[in-house]
Structure 1
Amino acid sequence: MAFAGLVGVSAGAVLVAEMGDKTQLVAMSLASRYRVRTVLLGSALATVVIHGISVLLAEVLGLALPADWLSLGAGLAFLGFGAWTLRGDELTEADEERAATRRAGSALLTVATIFFLAELGDKTMFTTIAVGADHAGTPLSWLAVWIGSTLGMVAADALGIALGMLLGKKLPEKAIRIGAAVVFFLAGLAMTWQGLSALLF
């Protein structure tokens, strides 16, 4: 398959896999708390890394990461994110002044970390591995799959961000915070259960 065709196949596969997925819901939640540019850039950075790992696994190892341990660890982290979101963050005037120069960087790191954890062991990660493994050995197939899967993922998250912005303008801050916490708790419980059941049964 031609390079451009493989980019398109990879982008389409990941875009479809991501529709209604937890990472897209996370994008909606984060868009109501952070700047759109920060959420989109954080999503893109996390996606480049996680899909790079997926392509490496497909091309070199041909094996998936141990999804049970990844799901368990990411699930526990998401439960922590849920509690943090529910508690909320309050800054004093002094804190606001000190954080003004650091806020963009720390918010970007937070968003990128959340997206990275959401994608570990997720179906879009395995979709990327499957597409990459199917075309392994073709010259530059790894690069085409990496580019395509990243584009597909960022496009899906952009839709989630747009919806989050739309809803964020119509909902009070407390409702947004509770809604975001519920998303994190549900994703965390599902991922923790998936990891535990794979390890125990």
Structure 2
Amino acid sequence: MRKETDSALTQQVISVWVRDPRIRKNDFWHAYIDYEICIHTDSVCFTKKISIVRRRFSEFVWLRQKLQANSQLMVQLPELPPKNPFFSLNNGQQITERMKGLQRFLEQILESPLLLSDSCLHLFLQSQLSVSKMNACAAGQTHYSVAQAVQQCGLRRFHSEEDLEKDLSMSCDSDSDSSECLDPELRIKDLAINKAESTTSLDLMGTSQEKPLSCSCGST
């Protein structure tokens, strides 16, 4: 019976895409790029089997630091793409290389059963919470749990705990791009169908790897 259970776990698949870099402006002088992270999985480690969120490079840095601290050096974490002091928002090649490096980072992270049990990873991949709210939620300092934050994931960031507690049956924000209002499942299926196609400049999609994972954790 034990062997059958282990065999079933090794067949679980987690597919991750990092794609669609977009320039966001904080103000007239400051801008940054965020990336779309798509997850499609049948793993019992995930509360939500299909999700789409957007994260920026600094949030990837936060994730690596949290995973390193929480794992207490029991796992050798992969490196993030190096922080280039000459990185330019107008350099498509630099953006594409960083995006591919971020995808490789996540692919390697998702191969570790120990890291898959970390609530910070699930909040990063499947919630729209900011870094400060992810820290608070993972520490149990919010009125909502990690699982609730994941389940209530919409296509915008929560500005307060009241936002999270609302029923997110509402539509997307009126100023959102129409493409962001699509059902995540339909968007993931579209990604899977078109993942072999190459695109140019800032709309390049990273390649997907579907690797069987040996996962011993429960859902968040």
Q: Same fold (TM over 0.5)?
A: no
Looking at secondary structure, tell me which structure has more helix per residue: 1
More strand by share: 2
What TM-score, normalized by structure 2, do the two folds share? 0.27
Which one scores higher on RCO, CA 8 angstroms, separation ≥ 6? 1
